[in-house]
Amino acid sequence: MSYQADENRYERMVYNRVGRSGLKLPAISLGLWHNFGGVHVFENGLAIVQRAFDLGVTHFDLANNYGPPPGSAEENFGRILDRGLRGHRDELIISTKAGWDMWPGPYGNWGSRKYLIASLHQSLKRMKLDYVDIFYHHRPDPETPLEETMGALDHIVRSGMALYAGISQYNPEQTRAAAEIARGLGTPLLIHQPSYNMFNRWIEGGLLEELERQGMGCIVFSPLAQGLLSEKYLQGIPQDSRAAQPWNSIKPELLTEANLDKVRQLVPLARDRGQTVSQLALAWVLRKPQVTSALIGARTVAQLEENLASLERLDFSEEELQRIEEILA
């Protein structure tokens, strides 16, 4: 049976403007970092993406190295597009990135013009696309001049391979410098993709304010601390969880008893709000007006639906926010 998109999909989602641009993103976007690679069941990823679109998720985030193996998430996303979504291309915001190790030799990582342009050519081929909506430099490069990296992003946009340019994991000073160079070239940076969650709050140390000054949006990854901000690890590591997989990327220092105890204390607060811990954590990152979207992963359709239901309750009382601070202290 061919896929038919839900006619009411745009009635179920909150869309936020990206900085001072003309673009809007869904308050929750879907990342294909895990669960969509060559080692995973394709039909499961297909069902997740199609259900996400039916629920108003228009933004799908990838990178050249997503898998495993690297590149396979983009290949599978191209196959997913062929199963009914390619006809909705103009309704989608598709992003990809380059910056981490991708192929052997001196030209397969970091931030050179050679690497960024070659990587995007490969990504477009894997997804069978003429362009992506957003192309990111995935991490700061300590050796390549920032002018070269931003010049590559400018070229990519001007050549039509991407509509917008973004950066990921840049600190406030690096962000300011990159934004000034890009603006001078005539291709302002659209958005920044940093990590942010209750256990990782580094962007509150000046980055959010810098993004606001630069007119850039912010889409945060790992808002659930790689699954820690849920109830699934409170009784140990489930066999079907990411932490139990051989390609696990969860940092061991996250799954400490001290952190798990904080999650346990969040459970009654979440339930008083009619939410799960995951829903509470997603609403919490979205409380910041500078945060355009929270980028989630999903292992099942049910998990996707649970996380998207967080949008039903985004407001916090001062008492709730204070209690969260006390728990996290």
Q: By C-alpha distance, which of 58, 69, 122 is closest to 96?
A: 122
Domains parsed from the chain with CATH numbers: 9-328 (3.20.20.100)
Per DSSP, the three-state class of 41 is coil
Burial 14-25 (b: 16+ CB within 10 A, else e): ebbebbebebbb
Q: Average pLDDT in the 167-175 region?
A: 98
User: Could you give the C-alpha distances from 233 to 30, 256, 257, in angstroms and in order?
Assistant: 22, 10, 10
Check residue 253 and give its pLDDT: 74
Neighbours of 52 (CB within 10 A): 26
Across 43-57, 221-235, 242-256, least confident range: 242-256
Report residue 93 as tokens: 């915001």
Whether pLDDT at 246 is above 80: no
Whether pLDDT at 251 is above 90: no
- Mean pLDDT across the chain: 95
* Percentage with pLDDT > 70 across the chain: 95
Burial 151-175 (b: 16+ CB within 10 A, else e): bbbbbbbeeebbbbbbbbbbebeeb
67 and 108 Cβ atoms separated by less than 8 Å: no
Q: Average pLDDT in the 211-224 region?
A: 98
**CA atoms of 273 and 278, how far apart (whole Å):** 12
Whether pLDDT at 249 is above 70: no
Q: Average pLDDT in the 124-132 region?
A: 98
325 and 48 Cβ atoms separated by less than 8 Å: no
pLDDT tens readout for residues 277-298: 999 999 999 999 999 999 999 9
Q: Is 60 left (phi over 0), alpha (psi -120 to 50) or beta?
A: beta
pLDDT tens readout for residues 31-74: 999 999 999 999 999 999 999 999 999 999 999 999 999 999 99
Strand-pairing partners, residue 257, are none
Residue 235: pLDDT band by 50, 70, 90 thresholds?
confident
Check residue 116 and give its pLDDT: 98
Whether pLDDT at 12 is above 70: yes
Q: Give residue for tokens 């179920």.
A: 12
Q: Please tell me the pTM assigned to this model.
A: 0.95
Check residue 255 and give its pLDDT: 84
